[in-house]
């Protein structure tokens, strides 16, 4: 979540300054516990490149597009979270997120669609990750077109989360330089700019793969899920507020 200035520069060199809410004993303990919890989780095909992209069926693309369009507009706020989750409390960062993304409420019908989608694609995700998982948080938004300073590619950065947590993006209108896309330096060293006009979904290692957002010319519908390692896979996504990213401890 840190994109600006010295923090971003440090992250390019693999140093991850803590969020204000991540300082102190509990967050350090959290990092240690996640590390132990996920010690066998750097496996599966995703461990080769850090990015795994699949085409989304046209039926699912239409369904998710309808979900996003039916959901009321909203904003990310400091309060929209749950205890024991990491959150973004800084006003400047929240203002940045609200400038870049037009958030839509997470509705019960979106969660139902996600349950069905995850159940249908469970085997694919299982195979890509190579370990059990669950969805710790959900949000949906239109990535706004880039104008002014936001039109430039974002800083190359790592998110600095426990590395075994991955992001799953559902992109019912694809991701191209026109709609807004992401640059990656994959774990095998190759650099790539996601450029696929067909509907797709993608799992990526946001704390292992250097990445940079590139806003486009038109709004891009996006559904974001955060996958955490679990003892047992669950395809029932947890919704804990737009500003809740991942739980402090695996059992939260």
Choices 6-14, 77-85, 156-164, 223-231; region in contact with Fe ion by CB under 5 A: 156-164
Q: Is 3 buried (19+), middle (13-18) or exposed (0-12) by CB count in 10 A?
A: middle
Q: How far apart are CA 61 and CA 173, in angstroms?
A: 7
Q: Which residue has the closest beta carbon to Fe ion? A: 159
Choices 46-54, 86-94, 157-165, 183-191; region in contact with Fe ion by CB under 5 A: 157-165
Choices 11-19, 90-98, 155-163, 173-181; region in contact with Fe ion by CB under 5 A: 155-163
Residue 234 C-beta: closest distance to Fe ion, Å = 25
Angle between helix 58-70 and 108-129 (nearest 10): 140
If phi over 0 gives left and psi between -120 and 50 gives alpha, with beta otherwise, what is residue 197?
A: alpha
Which C-beta is closer to Fe ion: that of 93 or that of 159?
159
Q: How far apart are CA 26 and CA 10, in angstroms?
A: 23
Contact between residue 114 and residue 237 where contact means Cβ atoms under 8 Å apart:
yes
Residue 14 C-beta: closest distance to Fe ion, Å = 14
- Rule CB under 5 A: say whether 159 interacts with Fe ion: yes
Contact between residue 31 and residue 162 where contact means Cβ atoms under 8 Å apart:
yes
Which C-beta is closer to Fe ion: that of 159 or that of 205?
159
Residue 151 C-beta: closest distance to Fe ion, Å = 18
**Binding residues for Fe ion, how many (CB under 5 A)?**
1
Which C-beta is closer to Fe ion: that of 12 or that of 124?
12
- Placement of tokens 């085409």 in the chain: 55
Contacts with Fe ion by CB under 5 A lie at 159
């Amino acid at each position: 979540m840190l994109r600006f200035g010295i923090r971003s520069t440090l992250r390019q060199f693999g140093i991850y300054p803590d969020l204000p809410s991540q300082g102190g004993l509990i967050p350090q303990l959290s990092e240690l516990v996640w590390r132990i919890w996920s010690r066998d989780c750097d496996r599966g095909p995703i461990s080769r490149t850090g990015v795994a992209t699949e085409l989304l069926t046209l039926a699912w693309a239409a369904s998710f597009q309808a979900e996003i369009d039916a959901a009321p507009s909203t904003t990310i706020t400091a309060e929209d979270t749950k205890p024991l989750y990491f959150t973004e409390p800084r006003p400047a960062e929240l203002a940045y997120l609200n400038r870049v993304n037009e958030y839509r409420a997470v509705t019960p019908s979106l969660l139902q669609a996600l349950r069905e989608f995850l159940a249908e694609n469970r085997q694919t995700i299982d195979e890509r990750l190579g370990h059990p998982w669950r969805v710790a948080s959900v949000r949906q938004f239109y990535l706004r077109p880039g104008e002014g300073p936001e039109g430039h590619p974002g800083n190359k950065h790592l998110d600095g989360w426990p590395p075994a947590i991955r992001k799953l993006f559902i992109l019912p209108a694809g991701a191209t330089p026109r709609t807004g896309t992401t640059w990656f330096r994959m774990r095998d060293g190759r650099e790539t700019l996601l450029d696929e006009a067909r509907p797709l979904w993608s799992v990526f290692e946001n704390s292992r793969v250097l990445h940079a957002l590139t806003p486009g010319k038109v709004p891009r519908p996006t559904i974001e899920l955060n996958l955490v390692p679990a003892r047992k896979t669950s395809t029932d996504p947890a919704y804990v507020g737009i500003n809740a990213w991942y739980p402090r401890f695996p059992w939260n």
